Structure 1
């Protein structure tokens, strides 16, 4: 399992041809308490960089962009009743959606752990 990052602070955890997408620990710290998540529709086809979801915190609303092209296969329904899961565990129970990756080569353009750590110093 590989995790890649965007400069906009989304992560994609790759399991085979599926990506699990959410926002990073750094992003949730910047946003503060998350109070609402607008999830994408299952079956929605996204191009890399398309707006996929919206996360609203007490500070601001923030768009979540697709790190790669693909089709939304699942959304984290638990966030509807408990959006704070993103604050508690953004990289585990606070994931936002799963995507069937259209072209795994797009992952090569994303940041690895070291490059993302440099970005957020």
Structure 2
């Protein structure tokens, strides 16, 4: 079973069975951003350090960035989002994923929040 973790910046990370990590926006994030109109994804093969800008998002309300929650190499991007950024609004935890990466240190996932900790955090932000 895949493990999902959450960042304070409202991204979810799911460790897949093949050791890759899939990253996307949480439902909370997409709801607060509003309808997404543009998504710029990272280049496949790019190595990004923790804290680097990975994704640029523009919505009807604001522009935002997804920062790398951990270091790794981008292995796949969700090409669908280039033509249909609204997929991230419609299905943020499924078809709206943004990119996959091979992380340098999978143990870093342990420092992120589980679902109950994330739910408690956003309860105070709603």
- What is the TM-score normalised by the length of structure 1? 0.97
Give RMSD over aligned pairs.
0.8
CA shift digits 1:19-59 (9 cap, x unpaired): 10010000000000000000100011011221101111011
Is the Cα–Cα contact under 8 Å of residues 4 and 113 in structure 1 kept in the other structure? yes
Gaps of 5+ in 1: none
Provide the residue aligned with 1:106 in structure 2.
Answer: 108
Is the Cα–Cα contact under 8 Å of residues 10 and 65 in structure 1 kept in the other structure? no
- What is the TM-score normalised by the length of structure 2? 0.93
Provide the residue aligned with 1:26 in structure 2.
Answer: 28
**How big is the shift at 1:2?**
0.3
Provide the residue aligned with 1:69 in structure 2.
Answer: 71
Provide the residue aligned with 2:54 in structure 1.
Answer: 52
Structure 1 runs of 4+ aligned residues shifted over 4 Å read: none
Distance 1:55 1:98 in 2: 17
**How big is the shift at 1:69?**
1.1
